Structure 1
Amino acid sequence: MTDKQKLSIVTLCGSVRKDSFNAALLRAVPGISAGDFIFTEGSSVADVPIYDGDLERLSGFPAVVTSLANLIREADGVLIASPEYNYSVPGGLKNLLDWVSRTPDQPFARKPVLLQSVSGGAMGGVRMQHHLRQIMVFLNARVLARPEVIIGPAQTRFSSEGDLVDPPTREAVRLQLAEFASFIRERMPG
Protein backbone atom coordinates (compact mmCIF):
# COMPACT_ATOMS: atom_id res chain seq x y z
CA MET A 1 0.00 0.00 0.00
CA THR A 2 1.46 3.41 -0.96
CA ASP A 3 1.25 6.53 1.18
CA LYS A 4 -1.27 7.96 -1.33
CA GLN A 5 -3.63 5.12 -0.49
CA LYS A 6 -3.20 5.51 3.25
CA LEU A 7 -5.79 7.41 5.23
CA SER A 8 -4.69 10.50 7.16
CA ILE A 9 -5.86 10.50 10.78
CA VAL A 10 -5.50 13.29 13.33
CA THR A 11 -5.16 11.99 16.88
CA LEU A 12 -6.41 13.90 19.91
CA CYS A 13 -5.70 12.92 23.50
CA GLY A 14 -8.02 14.06 26.28
CA SER A 15 -5.29 13.75 28.91
CA VAL A 16 -2.22 15.85 29.64
CA ARG A 17 -0.83 13.55 32.33
CA LYS A 18 2.83 12.65 31.74
CA ASP A 19 2.17 8.91 32.06
CA SER A 20 -1.27 8.98 30.45
CA PHE A 21 -2.60 5.57 29.43
CA ASN A 22 -4.61 7.27 26.67
CA ALA A 23 -1.45 8.82 25.23
CA ALA A 24 0.19 5.38 25.50
CA LEU A 25 -2.72 3.90 23.55
CA LEU A 26 -2.29 6.52 20.81
CA ARG A 27 1.44 5.71 20.65
CA ALA A 28 0.58 2.01 20.24
CA VAL A 29 -2.01 2.47 17.50
CA PRO A 30 0.39 2.79 14.50
CA GLY A 31 2.08 -0.49 15.41
CA ILE A 32 -1.25 -2.26 15.81
CA SER A 33 -2.91 -0.98 12.63
CA ALA A 34 -2.56 -2.88 9.37
CA GLY A 35 -0.74 0.03 7.74
CA ASP A 36 -3.93 1.70 6.51
CA PHE A 37 -3.20 5.03 8.18
CA ILE A 38 -0.81 7.92 8.54
CA PHE A 39 -1.30 9.34 12.04
CA THR A 40 -0.67 12.99 12.90
CA GLU A 41 -0.83 14.18 16.48
CA GLY A 42 -3.20 17.12 16.94
CA SER A 43 -2.76 19.96 19.38
CA SER A 44 -2.51 19.18 23.06
CA VAL A 45 -5.56 20.16 25.07
CA ALA A 46 -3.10 21.97 27.37
CA ASP A 47 -2.16 24.39 24.56
CA VAL A 48 -5.69 25.66 23.96
CA PRO A 49 -6.86 28.62 26.05
CA ILE A 50 -10.18 28.40 27.86
CA TYR A 51 -12.94 29.32 25.45
CA ASP A 52 -13.98 32.94 25.77
CA GLY A 53 -16.46 34.53 23.36
CA ASP A 54 -14.95 37.95 24.05
CA LEU A 55 -11.49 36.68 23.07
CA GLU A 56 -12.92 35.20 19.88
CA ARG A 57 -14.75 38.44 19.05
CA LEU A 58 -11.81 40.75 19.82
CA SER A 59 -8.83 38.67 18.68
CA GLY A 60 -10.25 35.93 16.49
CA PHE A 61 -9.24 32.33 16.86
CA PRO A 62 -5.96 31.46 18.61
CA ALA A 63 -3.32 30.17 16.17
CA VAL A 64 -3.35 26.73 17.85
CA VAL A 65 -7.09 26.42 17.19
CA THR A 66 -6.86 27.57 13.57
CA SER A 67 -3.98 25.17 12.93
CA LEU A 68 -5.84 22.23 14.46
CA ALA A 69 -9.06 23.07 12.60
CA ASN A 70 -7.13 23.09 9.30
CA LEU A 71 -5.45 19.79 10.17
CA ILE A 72 -8.83 18.19 10.89
CA ARG A 73 -10.42 19.58 7.72
CA GLU A 74 -7.62 18.09 5.60
CA ALA A 75 -7.62 14.70 7.34
CA ASP A 76 -9.65 11.66 6.36
CA GLY A 77 -10.64 11.09 9.98
CA VAL A 78 -10.05 11.84 13.65
CA LEU A 79 -9.15 9.45 16.48
CA ILE A 80 -9.88 10.66 20.02
CA ALA A 81 -8.56 8.75 23.04
CA SER A 82 -9.57 10.11 26.41
CA PRO A 83 -9.97 9.23 30.07
CA GLU A 84 -13.21 9.77 31.94
CA TYR A 85 -13.38 12.56 34.50
CA ASN A 86 -16.36 12.65 36.88
CA TYR A 87 -18.46 10.40 34.61
CA SER A 88 -17.83 12.60 31.55
CA VAL A 89 -15.48 14.25 29.06
CA PRO A 90 -12.40 15.96 30.54
CA GLY A 91 -12.75 19.76 30.55
CA GLY A 92 -9.66 20.32 28.41
CA LEU A 93 -10.96 18.07 25.62
CA LYS A 94 -14.42 19.67 25.74
CA ASN A 95 -12.77 23.10 25.56
CA LEU A 96 -10.71 22.08 22.51
CA LEU A 97 -13.85 20.76 20.76
CA ASP A 98 -15.75 23.96 21.62
CA TRP A 99 -13.06 26.17 20.08
CA VAL A 100 -12.55 24.06 16.94
CA SER A 101 -16.28 23.69 16.32
CA ARG A 102 -16.67 27.48 16.13
CA THR A 103 -14.19 27.92 13.29
CA PRO A 104 -15.52 28.59 9.78
CA ASP A 105 -16.40 25.51 7.73
CA GLN A 106 -16.84 23.54 10.97
CA PRO A 107 -14.17 20.80 10.68
CA PHE A 108 -16.03 17.98 12.42
CA ALA A 109 -19.08 18.16 10.12
CA ARG A 110 -19.35 14.82 8.27
CA LYS A 111 -15.84 13.87 9.47
CA PRO A 112 -15.32 10.20 10.39
CA VAL A 113 -14.42 9.99 14.09
CA LEU A 114 -13.19 7.06 16.16
CA LEU A 115 -13.42 7.02 19.96
CA GLN A 116 -11.23 5.11 22.40
CA SER A 117 -10.88 5.33 26.16
CA VAL A 118 -8.61 3.99 28.85
CA SER A 119 -9.26 4.19 32.56
CA GLY A 120 -7.85 2.76 35.74
CA GLY A 121 -11.39 1.74 36.66
CA ALA A 122 -13.18 -1.37 35.49
CA MET A 123 -15.58 0.55 33.22
CA GLY A 124 -12.75 1.92 31.08
CA GLY A 125 -14.30 5.31 30.31
CA VAL A 126 -17.63 4.10 28.91
CA ARG A 127 -19.54 7.09 30.34
CA MET A 128 -17.07 9.54 28.80
CA GLN A 129 -17.56 7.87 25.42
CA HIS A 130 -21.33 8.16 25.78
CA HIS A 131 -21.11 11.89 26.43
CA LEU A 132 -18.48 12.43 23.73
CA ARG A 133 -20.73 10.68 21.20
CA GLN A 134 -23.50 13.14 22.08
CA ILE A 135 -21.16 16.07 21.48
CA MET A 136 -19.99 14.64 18.16
CA VAL A 137 -23.59 14.04 17.04
CA PHE A 138 -24.32 17.74 17.60
CA LEU A 139 -21.19 18.59 15.56
CA ASN A 140 -22.54 16.34 12.77
CA ALA A 141 -19.49 14.06 12.91
CA ARG A 142 -19.74 10.47 11.65
CA VAL A 143 -18.74 8.43 14.72
CA LEU A 144 -17.98 4.73 14.21
CA ALA A 145 -20.47 2.90 16.43
CA ARG A 146 -18.80 -0.51 16.69
CA PRO A 147 -16.57 -2.13 17.63
CA GLU A 148 -15.83 -0.04 20.69
CA VAL A 149 -12.48 0.18 22.46
CA ILE A 150 -13.06 0.75 26.17
CA ILE A 151 -9.99 -0.34 28.15
CA GLY A 152 -9.97 -0.85 31.88
CA PRO A 153 -8.43 -1.44 34.31
CA ALA A 154 -5.48 0.14 32.52
CA GLN A 155 -2.78 -1.10 34.89
CA THR A 156 -3.53 -4.69 33.84
CA ARG A 157 -3.32 -3.92 30.11
CA PHE A 158 -0.19 -1.77 29.94
CA SER A 159 3.35 -2.48 31.13
CA SER A 160 5.07 -0.25 33.68
CA GLU A 161 6.83 1.37 30.68
CA GLY A 162 3.48 2.30 29.14
CA ASP A 163 3.34 -0.34 26.40
CA LEU A 164 0.00 -1.93 25.52
CA VAL A 165 0.88 -5.57 26.23
CA ASP A 166 -2.47 -7.31 26.70
CA PRO A 167 -3.04 -9.48 23.56
CA PRO A 168 -6.89 -9.42 23.63
CA THR A 169 -6.85 -5.64 24.01
CA ARG A 170 -4.37 -5.25 21.15
CA GLU A 171 -6.63 -7.43 19.01
CA ALA A 172 -9.69 -5.34 19.91
CA VAL A 173 -7.82 -2.19 18.87
CA ARG A 174 -6.70 -3.86 15.62
CA LEU A 175 -10.24 -4.89 14.75
CA GLN A 176 -11.59 -1.41 15.51
CA LEU A 177 -8.94 0.24 13.34
CA ALA A 178 -9.67 -2.13 10.44
CA GLU A 179 -13.37 -1.30 10.72
CA PHE A 180 -12.56 2.43 10.85
CA ALA A 181 -10.56 2.15 7.61
CA SER A 182 -13.56 0.51 5.91
CA PHE A 183 -15.94 3.07 7.48
CA ILE A 184 -13.92 5.95 6.02
CA ARG A 185 -13.41 4.40 2.59
CA GLU A 186 -17.13 3.66 2.21
CA ARG A 187 -17.81 7.37 2.61
CA MET A 188 -15.10 8.65 0.27
CA PRO A 189 -16.15 10.11 -3.08
CA GLY A 190 -15.40 8.25 -6.26
Structure 2
Amino acid sequence: MTENTVLALVGSLRNGSTNKQLAEAAAQLAPTGTTIVIHEGLADIPFYNEDVDLPDAAPVEAQRLREAAENADAVLFFTPEYNGTIPAVLKNAIDWLSRPFGDGAIKGKPTAVVGTAYGQYGGVWAHDDARKSLKIAGANVVEEAKLSVPGSLVRFAEVHPKDDAEVSGQLSEILQTLLGAVNDKVAA
Protein backbone atom coordinates (compact mmCIF):
# COMPACT_ATOMS: atom_id res chain seq x y z
CA MET A 1 0.00 0.00 0.00
CA THR A 2 1.28 3.46 -0.90
CA GLU A 3 1.70 5.89 1.97
CA ASN A 4 0.66 9.47 1.18
CA THR A 5 1.31 12.68 3.07
CA VAL A 6 -0.92 15.71 2.63
CA LEU A 7 0.31 19.01 3.99
CA ALA A 8 -2.51 21.14 5.41
CA LEU A 9 -2.06 24.92 5.50
CA VAL A 10 -4.61 26.91 7.49
CA GLY A 11 -5.12 30.57 6.66
CA SER A 12 -6.62 31.56 9.99
CA LEU A 13 -4.39 32.18 13.00
CA ARG A 14 -7.30 32.66 15.41
CA ASN A 15 -7.71 30.38 18.42
CA GLY A 16 -10.79 28.29 17.78
CA SER A 17 -10.58 28.84 14.02
CA THR A 18 -13.28 26.90 12.21
CA ASN A 19 -10.83 26.39 9.34
CA LYS A 20 -8.34 24.81 11.75
CA GLN A 21 -11.19 22.60 12.97
CA LEU A 22 -11.94 21.71 9.34
CA ALA A 23 -8.28 20.71 8.89
CA GLU A 24 -8.46 18.62 12.08
CA ALA A 25 -11.56 16.91 10.72
CA ALA A 26 -9.78 16.14 7.45
CA ALA A 27 -6.87 14.64 9.40
CA GLN A 28 -9.27 12.35 11.24
CA LEU A 29 -11.06 11.40 8.02
CA ALA A 30 -7.89 10.61 6.07
CA PRO A 31 -8.10 7.20 4.45
CA THR A 32 -5.81 4.40 5.58
CA GLY A 33 -2.32 5.01 4.29
CA THR A 34 -2.70 8.80 4.27
CA THR A 35 -1.37 11.20 6.86
CA ILE A 36 -2.47 14.81 6.98
CA VAL A 37 0.08 17.08 8.61
CA ILE A 38 -1.27 20.44 9.78
CA HIS A 39 1.62 22.88 9.44
CA GLU A 40 2.20 25.19 12.38
CA GLY A 41 4.20 28.38 12.16
CA LEU A 42 2.74 30.36 9.26
CA ALA A 43 2.55 33.41 11.54
CA ASP A 44 6.31 33.22 12.07
CA ILE A 45 7.25 33.46 8.40
CA PRO A 46 8.31 36.98 7.39
CA PHE A 47 6.59 38.63 4.45
CA TYR A 48 8.17 37.47 1.23
CA ASN A 49 11.17 39.60 0.29
CA GLU A 50 13.54 38.54 -2.44
CA ASP A 51 16.37 40.28 -0.59
CA VAL A 52 16.21 37.73 2.24
CA ASP A 53 15.35 34.72 0.07
CA LEU A 54 18.93 33.74 -0.57
CA PRO A 55 20.10 30.26 -1.60
CA ASP A 56 20.64 28.18 1.54
CA ALA A 57 19.90 31.23 3.70
CA ALA A 58 16.13 31.74 3.58
CA PRO A 59 14.46 32.47 6.93
CA VAL A 60 14.20 29.30 9.01
CA GLU A 61 10.38 29.18 9.11
CA ALA A 62 10.14 29.76 5.35
CA GLN A 63 12.60 26.95 4.74
CA ARG A 64 10.67 24.69 7.11
CA LEU A 65 7.49 25.39 5.10
CA ARG A 66 9.24 24.68 1.82
CA GLU A 67 10.64 21.40 3.12
CA ALA A 68 7.21 20.34 4.41
CA ALA A 69 5.70 21.03 0.98
CA GLU A 70 8.51 19.28 -0.87
CA ASN A 71 8.08 16.20 1.34
CA ALA A 72 4.30 16.10 0.92
CA ASP A 73 2.52 14.32 -1.89
CA ALA A 74 -0.19 17.00 -1.97
CA VAL A 75 -1.12 20.26 -0.28
CA LEU A 76 -4.58 21.12 1.04
CA PHE A 77 -5.29 24.78 1.82
CA PHE A 78 -7.97 25.71 4.37
CA THR A 79 -8.93 29.35 4.14
CA PRO A 80 -11.49 31.77 5.49
CA GLU A 81 -12.35 34.93 3.59
CA TYR A 82 -10.95 38.26 4.81
CA ASN A 83 -12.39 41.34 3.11
CA GLY A 84 -13.39 39.30 0.08
CA THR A 85 -10.08 37.50 -0.47
CA ILE A 86 -7.45 35.23 1.11
CA PRO A 87 -5.73 36.12 4.38
CA ALA A 88 -2.26 37.67 4.08
CA VAL A 89 -0.67 34.80 6.00
CA LEU A 90 -1.83 32.27 3.40
CA LYS A 91 -0.88 34.47 0.43
CA ASN A 92 2.56 34.90 2.01
CA ALA A 93 2.91 31.12 2.31
CA ILE A 94 2.04 30.74 -1.37
CA ASP A 95 4.62 33.39 -2.26
CA TRP A 96 7.38 31.56 -0.35
CA LEU A 97 6.32 28.21 -1.85
CA SER A 98 6.41 29.65 -5.37
CA ARG A 99 10.13 30.45 -5.23
CA PRO A 100 12.55 30.03 -6.81
CA PHE A 101 10.36 31.10 -9.70
CA GLY A 102 9.54 28.19 -11.97
CA ASP A 103 10.89 25.62 -9.53
CA GLY A 104 9.14 26.28 -6.20
CA ALA A 105 8.18 23.68 -3.62
CA ILE A 106 4.65 23.37 -5.03
CA LYS A 107 5.57 23.14 -8.71
CA GLY A 108 3.34 20.44 -10.19
CA LYS A 109 2.16 19.41 -6.71
CA PRO A 110 -1.52 18.38 -6.50
CA THR A 111 -3.28 21.03 -4.41
CA ALA A 112 -6.82 21.86 -3.40
CA VAL A 113 -8.47 24.77 -1.62
CA VAL A 114 -11.36 24.39 0.81
CA GLY A 115 -12.68 26.31 3.76
CA THR A 116 -15.43 27.85 5.71
CA ALA A 117 -16.45 31.44 6.36
CA TYR A 118 -19.18 33.29 8.19
CA GLY A 119 -20.83 34.66 5.04
CA GLN A 120 -23.51 33.06 2.94
CA TYR A 121 -21.07 31.80 0.30
CA GLY A 122 -18.56 30.18 2.63
CA GLY A 123 -15.51 32.08 1.38
CA VAL A 124 -15.83 31.19 -2.29
CA TRP A 125 -14.07 34.42 -3.40
CA ALA A 126 -11.09 33.65 -1.19
CA HIS A 127 -11.02 30.07 -2.43
CA ASP A 128 -11.09 31.21 -6.06
CA ASP A 129 -8.32 33.76 -5.41
CA ALA A 130 -6.19 31.12 -3.69
CA ARG A 131 -6.63 28.73 -6.63
CA LYS A 132 -5.63 31.50 -9.05
CA SER A 133 -2.52 32.35 -7.03
CA LEU A 134 -1.58 28.67 -6.72
CA LYS A 135 -1.91 28.12 -10.47
CA ILE A 136 0.38 31.07 -11.16
CA ALA A 137 2.79 29.68 -8.55
CA GLY A 138 2.98 26.44 -10.54
CA ALA A 139 0.82 24.12 -8.44
CA ASN A 140 -1.39 21.47 -10.00
CA VAL A 141 -4.71 22.77 -8.70
CA VAL A 142 -7.31 19.99 -8.56
CA GLU A 143 -10.39 21.95 -9.67
CA GLU A 144 -12.86 19.19 -8.76
CA ALA A 145 -11.79 19.32 -5.11
CA LYS A 146 -13.83 22.28 -3.87
CA LEU A 147 -15.66 22.93 -0.62
CA SER A 148 -16.94 26.28 0.66
CA VAL A 149 -18.98 25.91 3.86
CA PRO A 150 -21.13 28.98 4.68
CA GLY A 151 -22.24 30.22 8.09
CA SER A 152 -19.21 28.87 9.95
CA LEU A 153 -19.73 30.62 13.28
CA VAL A 154 -23.31 29.41 13.54
CA ARG A 155 -22.89 26.01 11.90
CA PHE A 156 -19.91 25.04 14.03
CA ALA A 157 -20.86 26.88 17.22
CA GLU A 158 -21.65 23.65 19.03
CA VAL A 159 -20.58 20.99 16.52
CA HIS A 160 -17.02 20.32 15.40
CA PRO A 161 -16.83 19.85 11.61
CA LYS A 162 -15.83 16.20 12.12
CA ASP A 163 -19.22 15.63 13.74
CA ASP A 164 -21.17 17.31 10.93
CA ALA A 165 -22.16 14.39 8.69
CA GLU A 166 -22.58 16.51 5.55
CA VAL A 167 -19.23 18.29 5.94
CA SER A 168 -17.44 15.05 6.87
CA GLY A 169 -18.79 13.37 3.76
CA GLN A 170 -17.72 16.28 1.58
CA LEU A 171 -14.24 16.36 3.14
CA SER A 172 -13.86 12.63 2.52
CA GLU A 173 -14.74 13.18 -1.15
CA ILE A 174 -12.23 16.06 -1.38
CA LEU A 175 -9.50 13.83 0.04
CA GLN A 176 -10.30 11.02 -2.39
CA THR A 177 -10.23 13.44 -5.33
CA LEU A 178 -6.94 15.00 -4.20
CA LEU A 179 -5.36 11.58 -3.61
CA GLY A 180 -6.59 10.51 -7.04
CA ALA A 181 -4.54 13.37 -8.51
CA VAL A 182 -1.51 12.16 -6.51
CA ASN A 183 -1.96 8.65 -7.91
CA ASP A 184 -2.35 10.04 -11.44
CA LYS A 185 0.90 11.98 -11.03
CA VAL A 186 2.74 8.86 -9.81
CA ALA A 187 1.36 6.78 -12.68
CA ALA A 188 2.39 9.36 -15.29
TM-score normalized with structure 2 length: 0.89
1:24-63 superposed matches below 5 A: 24-56=21-53, 60-63=57-60
Q: CA deviation at 1:46?
A: 0.7
**Does the aligned pair in 1 maintain the 2:145–2:178 contact within 8 Å?**
no
1:133 is matched with: 131
Could you tell me how far 1:156 is from its partner in structure 2? 4.1
User: 1:30-109 maps to which residues of 2 (within 5 A)?
Assistant: 30-56=27-53, 60-103=57-100, 105-109=103-107
* Structure 1 unaligned residues grouped into runs of 5+: none
Question: Identity, % of aligned pairs?
Answer: 25
Indicate the RMSD between aligned Cα atoms, in angstroms: 2.2
Q: Bigger shift: 121-130 or 41-50?
A: 41-50
Cα 1:142–1:126, aligned 2, differ >3 Å: closer, same or farther? Answer: same
**Equivalent residue number for residue 18 of structure 1:** 15
Q: Which one is further off, 23-32 or 157-166?
A: 157-166
Higher mean C-alpha deviation, range 142-151 or range 152-161: 152-161
Q: Alignment partner for residue 185 of structure 1, among 170, 183, 187?
A: 183
Partner SS, residue 174 of structure 2: helix
Q: Provide the TM-score with structure 1 as the length reference.
A: 0.88
1: CA distance, partners of 2:54 / 2:71: 25
Distance 1:29 1:59, change over 3 A: closer
- How many residue pairs get aligned? The number is 187
Whole-Å separation in 2 of the counterparts to 1:181 and 1:68: 21
Partner in structure 2 of residue 113 of structure 1: 111
1:48-102: CA deviations, max 9, x gaps? 1122333335993101111211121121111110101111110111112212322
Question: Residue 160 of structure 1: CA displacement?
Answer: 2.9
| Letter matched to residue 82 of structure 1 | T
Contact 1:157 1:169 in 2 (8 A): no
| Equivalent of residue 165 in structure 1, options 159, 163, 166 | 163
Query: Any conservation in 1 of the 2:21–2:161 contact (CA below 8 Å)?
Result: yes
Give yes or no for contact 1:48–1:65 (8 Å, CA) kept in 2.
yes
